Structure 1
Amino acid sequence: MITSVLVANRGEIACRVFRTCRELGIRTVAVYSDADENALHVRVADAAVRLPGAAPADTYLRGDLIVRAALAAGADAVHPGYGFLSENPGFARAVLDAGLVWIGPPPEAIEAMASKTRAKELLGITPLREVTEGDLPVLVKAAAGGGGRGMRVVRRLADLEEELTAARAEALAAFGDDEVFVEPYVEDGRHVEVQILADAHGTVWALGTRDCSLQRRHQKVVEEAPAPGLSPGLTHELHETAERAARAVGYTGAGTVEFLVAGDRAQFLEMNTRLQVEHPVTEAVFGIDLVALQIRVAEGHTLDDEPPRAHGHAVEARLYAEDPAQHWAPQTGTLHRLAVPDTVRLDTGYTDGDPIGVHYDPLIAKAVAHAPTRAEAIRKLSGALDRAAIHGPVTNRDLLVRSLRHEEFTSGHMDTGFYGRHLAELTEPAPDPYAPLAAALADAHGRSRFGGWRNLPSQPQTKRYTMAGEEHEVRYRHTRAGGLEADGVRVLHADARLVTLEADGVRRTYTVARHGDDVHVDGTTLRALPRFPDPAAQHAPGSLLAPMPGTVVRIADGLTEGTAVQAGQPLLWLEAMKMQHQITAPATGTLNALRVSRGQQVELGTLLAVVTATS
């Protein structure tokens, strides 16, 4: 019997595994980097061991330190979570060699499937060795990992070498292995996968299907089970292939076999020898706890001959600290408030007041809804996210709500090109026009220095806010009776937290929260502007500012001050949250200033370069 589990991971998945361990009466051990010293997964664990440093290569990718931590804390088993070392056969062997229980598949099975190139060969599929014009478009992928890291779509042969270089760098940073390979890219297919669970006694479960087609940067955003619209014949084929892959390598534990589906044809992509981020939708539909089953299998128990029956439909949305309208740029800062209605399941590694840093994935939480039908599950999830209070860095919450309500998704006709087609409309600003007034009235509550009744109404007060990139000026006044009024709107109630307005016969109540200069009015975020702008905050036209904190990992070859550049030309690359982000020239002209160097750490808003446009 396992009595104490160390989770070789962080954040949401560590908290998720700890939750099941507590329910089973198992003690928990966390590991943490210096950046995660006060993280939620550290606070909820029974014990925690520091991994000195902040970069993954120095901490969560150091298998030797993690094994040492497990022994020091008295753990008798290790759960790898997902990402980091979860698909590293050397780490699995080190855990077993230390006399610990490995809550995962045998190292030999991981090794057989860990390299996507070897996995394809095992199933008789050969990746591209040489790429020609006729092969385009192609997909560059990291051999040792997933999650979109080290993955690039190449549509021009001239771009292949540069994308290979970038993919290798991302793969090395994320997985400690820079091997990449190239395969044909199927435009606008569906990403469908099969959850498997196998014991050491020959039983393999194929637990339905999942559709994970809504992706950005090849990372999943919305997932659901079962995958809608698959024929019984195709579903049987997917299950059969998944079971064959598991049996071919003597698999045990939880894993996922992924496919690209176009029409009624399925192309094998890879096998992930670990728990997936989206596993909760399968848990909801089958009424199981996959982590508990992983632990039972690791203890040597047998599975039933047949898996439980599926019931209903489940949909999951990943809430990220990122700005979809700005090329999905990750965001950092303090998460002041995270409150999602309890009508849905919420898996998260954050609580109110926690910082979101630059070192790791920007995933904040996963929200999961289960209902008897697909339509009901979608409505339940979109409604919960719409009502959620999320205060802090910019998130993709509005994008998720709009995606879930988009006709292409609700009809079940989506594919991996969904955001390529619809991102502009899904990120079109649609703020509440009365949000600035609600913010101003909440701020004005109690500010009247005369208080109560007055002989004459006060002069109009003015406040300015930015909302969805535009500046808004609000005018209101204190009445003789000590209340507040605004032109064209009845102010029924106003205090520092709640404002009730009536406009055109419709009454609405707004919840207002202020954190520094940021004001959150229900789901709308505003920035309060000072009465007099700070001249020091102004920048010359053509200034390129860091869209996020990060590290300058690359500067374009030959780029110096005075170099002529073209609009859209990549100038430098920032690495943040395990991804690389291109900074491009805003116009055709001349690079008049380059203010950073390779390896330099920059903060949000740091001046990187200045491009003077050709007149």
Structure 2
Amino acid sequence: MPISKILVANRSEIAIRVFRAANELGLKTVAIWAEEDKLALHRFKADESYQVGRGPHLSRDLGPIESYLSIEEVIRVAKLSGADAIHPGYGLLSESPEFAEACAEAGITFIGPKPETMRQLGNKVAARNLAISIGVPVVPATEPLPEDMAEVAKMAEAIGYPVMLKASWGGGGRGMRAIRDPKDLAREVTEAKREAKAAFGKDEVYLEKLVERARHVESQVLGDTHGNVVHLFERDCSIQRRNQKVVERAPAPYLNASQREELAAYSKRIAEATNYIGAGTVEYLMDADSGKFYFIEVNPRIQVEHTVTEVVTGIDIVKAQIHILDGYAIGTPESGVPSQENIRLNGHALQCRITTEDPEQNFIPDYGRITAYRGATGFGIRLDGGTAYSGAVITRYYDPLLEKVTALTNPVVNS
């Protein structure tokens, strides 16, 4: 049966983005909201909305743990509303194979990769080993770190300082730390494990050689249920702060034609090796001195920065996700995704993330009420927002992202 009603297991900007795509396809939509989001905009952008969890005001201040992160609660609402598909968005449960399995057990289409693919790629160490096995270059790294700090110190020395500490599960820069001095190793490992545990529920971390002059470049891929895989070129995500992406560009302006082809080939190889279904992003470090690429991870979900790829390719990635899980093959008109030879770049796009921060506290995330708002306008400007409006309340439980501003420059306009 084709998808007819989609529940978005998320909130704010990405929930609204999925609702818009679903509405344009004539599909019904369902929103979920926690107690602290009872006045949130995404609740009112869907055809139906349901509360999940008891909310922090009633349950020991647990934030999203009993609401957006509760698989049981989300599945309960999906059944109650009659939703036959769930889109996870990004963050929250989007990379949980247990959630994808729960959807399958409930007879609900999960708009994302298969659980086994998520498990294969969700652990960064396992994903690295996969890349090595199929000839994709990787940065030298360790296995998950043991408890014995003496052994950890030996592993770090074997790689050679400086090293980068990373969480084995999840993304978003959580648990990442650059270590240049051996005396900082024990403290940073302890802190990284604590942060990883809080963000992903697992404290597994590993060490990776730090590439000092690196560019962060990623490749967008789409795979269907018929074994077809395409790439939508690449994005540059090198402008970061505290290991969080701030500005993204598409395409990467420093790549020549042969480098672009090399990067795309690596990404398609990984997607094909994992029988990838849906939208995914393969991330790399590029050594600015040598021009070599090093695989670092796969994000098996839609990315915050997908908008820049959409505006330079003309492909609606969210609609493509829905069509793919509906069984349409890439390269057919019904899928909304052309065959590889017909996917082209048009112009250059830049995305800036607008977040709420406290400039007097080193720009840490802040919260409160927006008293006045004026959005950007103009030719080539796209706004994707969820809490960017006058009167919106920003809580301390979620990412401080208010809005994404995407600008397209130098498009080829057919007369």
Q: TM-score range by the shorter chain?
A: 0.7 to 0.9
Tell me which amino acid in the other structure corresponds to 1:298: L
Aligned to 1:140: 165
Deviation, 1:133, is 7.9
Aligned to 1:353: 391
Aligned to 2:55: 53
How far apart, in 2, do the equivalents of 1:13 and 1:179 lie? 28
CA contact (8 A) 1:84 1:174 kept: no
Tell me which amino acid in the other structure corresponds to 2:397: H
Is 1:313 the counterpart of 2:327? The answer is no
Deviations 1:460-483 (A, max 9, x none): xxxxxxxxxxxxxxxxxxxxxxxx
Tell me which amino acid in the other structure corresponds to 1:311: N
Deviation, 1:93, is 0.8
SS of 2:373's partner is strand
SS of 2:297's partner is strand
- Tell which deviates more after alignment, 309-318 or 168-177: 168-177
Aligned to 1:370: 408
Alignment of 1:305-344 (within 5 A): 305-306=339-340, 307-323=342-358, 326-343=361-378, 344=381
Deviations 1:363-422 (A, max 9, x none): 110000112169xxxxxxxxxxxxxxxxxxxxxxxxxxxxxxxxxxxxxxxxxxxxxxxx
Deviation, 1:56, is 2.6
Deviation, 1:181, is 1.6
Is 1:90 the counterpart of 2:104? The answer is no
Aligned to 1:219: 244
Aligned to 2:147: none
Deviations 1:196-245 (A, max 9, x none): 01111121111111001000111100001000021222211110110011
- Tell which deviates more after alignment, 232-241 or 44-53: 44-53
Alignment of 1:379-528 (within 5 A): none
Give the one of 118, 142, 148 matched to 1:128.
142
Tell me which amino acid in the other structure corresponds to 2:351: E
How far apart, in 2, do the equivalents of 1:233 and 1:85 lie? 37
How far apart, in 2, do the equivalents of 1:80 and 1:164 lie? 31
Deviations 1:582-601 (A, max 9, x none): xxxxxxxxxxxxxxxxxxxx
Q: For residues 315 and 228 of structure 1, do their structure 2 counterparts lie closer, same or farther at Cα, with a shift above 3 Å needed?
A: same
Is 1:293 the counterpart of 2:295? The answer is no
CA contact (8 A) 1:61 1:175 kept: no
How far apart, in 2, do the equivalents of 1:360 and 1:73 lie? 25
CA contact (8 A) 1:56 1:173 kept: no
Aligned to 2:112: 104
Whose strand fraction is larger, Structure 1's or Structure 2's?
1
Deviation, 1:341, is 2.7
Is 1:156 the counterpart of 2:156? The answer is no
Is 1:282 the counterpart of 2:296? The answer is no
SS of 1:201's partner is coil
SS of 1:261's partner is strand
CA contact (8 A) 2:22 2:28 kept: yes
Report the number of matched residues.
374
CA contact (8 A) 1:30 1:42 kept: yes
Is 1:76 the counterpart of 2:84? The answer is yes
Deviation, 1:134, is 6.2
How far apart, in 1, do the equivalents of 2:192 and 2:55 lie? 24
Structure (1 or 2) with the larger CA radius of gyration: 1
How far apart, in 1, do the equivalents of 2:181 and 2:64 lie? 33
SS of 1:338's partner is coil
How far apart, in 1, do the equivalents of 2:242 and 2:272 lie? 32
Q: For residues 132 and 358 of structure 1, do their structure 2 counterparts lie closer, same or farther at Cα, with a shift above 3 Å needed?
A: same
Deviation, 1:291, is 0.4
Give structure 1 stretches of 5+ with no counterpart. 375-615
Tell me which amino acid in the other structure corresponds to 2:82: G
Deviation, 1:313, is 0.8
Deviations 1:19-62 (A, max 9, x none): 11111111111112221111111121222222222423222221
Deviation, 1:317, is 0.2
CA contact (8 A) 1:114 1:144 kept: yes
Normalised to the residue count of structure 2, the TM-score between the two structures is 0.87
CA contact (8 A) 1:57 1:176 kept: no
CA contact (8 A) 2:285 2:296 kept: yes
Deviation, 1:352, is 1.5
CA contact (8 A) 2:159 2:209 kept: no
Alignment of 1:522-601 (within 5 A): none
Q: For residues 107 and 367 of structure 1, do their structure 2 counterparts lie closer, same or farther at Cα, with a shift above 3 Å needed?
A: same
SS of 1:22's partner is helix
How far apart, in 2, do the equivalents of 1:144 and 1:93 lie? 18
Tell me which amino acid in the other structure corresponds to 1:10: R
Q: For residues 281 and 146 of structure 1, do their structure 2 counterparts lie closer, same or farther at Cα, with a shift above 3 Å needed?
A: same
Tell me which amino acid in the other structure corresponds to 2:392: D
Aligned to 1:36: 37
Aligned to 2:192: 167
Give the one of 253, 256, 261 matched to 1:236.
261
Deviation, 1:144, is 1.6
Deviations 1:141-191 (A, max 9, x none): 122211111222222222222222222222222222222221111113110
- Tell which deviates more after alignment, 50-59 or 253-262: 50-59
CA contact (8 A) 1:56 1:174 kept: no
Give structure 2 stretches of 5+ with no counterpart. 57-62, 133-137, 144-154, 332-338
Tell me which amino acid in the other structure corresponds to 1:96: A
How far apart, in 1, do the equivalents of 2:165 and 2:12 lie? 28
Percent identity reads 45
Deviation, 1:338, is 2.4
CA contact (8 A) 2:217 2:236 kept: yes
Is 1:188 the counterpart of 2:175? The answer is no
Tell me which amino acid in the other structure corresponds to 1:348: G
How far apart, in 1, do the equivalents of 2:160 and 2:55 lie? 43
More relative contact order in 1 or in 2 (CA 8 Å, sep 6+)? 2
Deviations 1:524-578 (A, max 9, x none): xxxxxxxxxxxxxxxxxxxxxxxxxxxxxxxxxxxxxxxxxxxxxxxxxxxxxxx
CA contact (8 A) 1:61 1:176 kept: no
How far apart, in 2, do the equivalents of 1:362 and 1:9 lie? 15
